[in-house]
Amino acid sequence: MKLKRLSIGTFNLYNLNEPGLSMYTDKTGWSQEEYDRKIEWTSRTIRLLHPDIFGFQELWHSASIERALTQSGIAGDYDLIVPENADGKRIVCAAIVRKGLMISEPQWLKRFPEKFTLKSSGDDPQTPAITVSIPSFSRPVLHFSVRPREDHEPIHVYVCHFKSKGPTKVFQEDWFEADGALYKKHATSIGAAISTIRRTAEAAALRFILTEQMKGTRTPVIVLGDINDGQHSNTANILTEQPRYLVGDSLGGGDVSLYTAQTLQEYRSTRDVYYTHVHQDIMESLDHILVSEEFYDNSRRRVWMFDGMTVNNDHLNSDDHKEAGTSDHGVICATFKYRPIKAEAQEIADGTA
C-alpha cells in the first residue's frame, strides 16, 4: 500500500452504550429512543468524515459501535478495533482503521510502565519530599501499528482518554466521613486537585512509553484522544515536550517531540476558532491529534506534510446532548499528504552532505 494522503480523527462518543444499561450513577441509561438518535448521529458523523484512522473514547459496549458503523454504510472500508470484554460495564478506547493499514494486533495498556516513578526528595532545601502512587490509567490506552506506505516505517498509534477536570467525589472516603463538617466546604478543591494529579500522572506515564519508543529511533507516532486539557496545558506540555515550531529551512523536528494539529492549523489560518468542549460557557480544546516529527512540515525528517484540519463542533450549541443524540465533544480530523523532504535537503540538515 502506498497512500498519498492520510486522514486521522478523534471522536469522544459520549457514553455510547446499549439502551437500558447503567452508566456511572445513571441506573437506567439510554432509553431506546435516545439510543436510536445517538446511533444515527454517530453513524452520520463517521460517514461524513470517513478518515483512514478514527480513535474513539467513551465507548461502553462493542455492539453499539458495531451498529453505528454498520448504519454508516461504510463498515466494509474498516477494521473495527474494540476489546473483547467491552460489554457495557466500563469505558474503553477503540478505533476504526481503513482495511489494509493495520499491521499489528491491538494492545490496551492499563498498567503504567514498571520503571515509571513519580517520587522526589525535593530539588532544593525548601522543597518537601513527594510521592505519587498511581499504578494505572483510568482508561486503558489503545496501541496499534499501521503502515500506509510500504516504503516507510510503520506508524504507532495511541488512543487515550485521561481523567477529566471534574472534581473527584470524595464524600464517601473514610477521612471525609470522619470530619465531614470540616471537609464538606473543601470537597470541590480537594477533588479537583486529585483529578489534576491523576491526569498529570497519566500524561507522564504515556510520555514515558512514547520516549522509550521514540528516543534515538525513526519511529513515527500519532497520539489521538481526549486528554481533558488544553493546547498549552501542563498535560499537553508533558505529552508533547513543547517543541519549537517556527524554525524554517527544514531544520526543525525533535527526536521525541509531538506536534499538535491545532498549532499546525493555526499557522495556516488567520484566526483560531478551535474548540471541542463547552463548560459553563467556556470554550476549550480538550481533544487532540499529536504527531511526531515525521508529520511536521519543517522537520528535517518529514515524510507527511500537514494539509488541514476540520473541527465538527456546531452540535455543541445544544445543551441537551441526550435529547439530540450528539456528543458533548467536538470531532476533529487532520489530513496529511505524502511529501517527504528531498534527500539532499535532509543530508544538509543532518550535516552529512
In this structure, is residue 130 part of a structural domain? Answer: no
In a domain, 64, yes or no: yes
pTM (2 d.p.) = 0.93
Task: Answer whether residue 132 is part of any domain.
Answer: no
> What's 209's domain CATH number?
3.60.10.10
Per-residue confidence (pLDDT) for residue 268, from 0 to 100: 77
The verdict on residue 192 lying in a domain is: no
User: Residues 6 or more apart from 201 whose CB is under 8 A from it?
Assistant: 112, 118, 132, 134
36-70 pLDDT tens trace = 999 999 999 999 999 999 999 999 999 999 999 99
Q: How far is residue 353 CA from its own chain's centroid?
A: 38
Parent domain of 44: 5-110+139-168+201-350
Does residue 27 sit within a domain?
A: yes
In a domain, 17, yes or no: yes
**CB neighbour list of residue 64: distance below 8 Å, 6 or more residues apart:** 16, 17, 18, 35, 39
Residue 278 lies in a domain: yes
How many structural domains is the chain composed of? 1
> What residues have CB less than 8 Å from 118, skipping those under 6 apart?
130, 131, 132, 133, 134, 201, 204
- Each of the 353 residues of the chain gets a pLDDT tens digit; together they read 899 999 999 999 999 999 999 998 889 999 999 999 999 999 999 999 999 999 999 999 999 999 999 999 999 999 999 999 999 999 999 999 999 999 999 999 999 999 999 999 988 889 999 999 999 999 999 999 999 999 999 999 999 999 998 999 999 999 999 999 999 999 999 999 999 999 999 999 999 999 999 999 999 999 999 998 988 899 999 999 998 887 665 567 889 999 999 988 888 776 666 778 777 667 788 899 999 999 999 898 999 999 999 988 787 777 788 888 898 888 999 999 999 988 545 555 555 54
Amino acid in position 57: Q
Q: Is residue 210 part of a domain?
A: yes
- As a whole number of angstroms, the distance between CA 327 and CA 315 comes to 8
* Confidence (pLDDT) at 317: 78
pLDDT at 274 (0 to 100): 76
Identify whether the C-beta of residue 330 lies closer than 8 Å to the C-beta of residue 275: yes
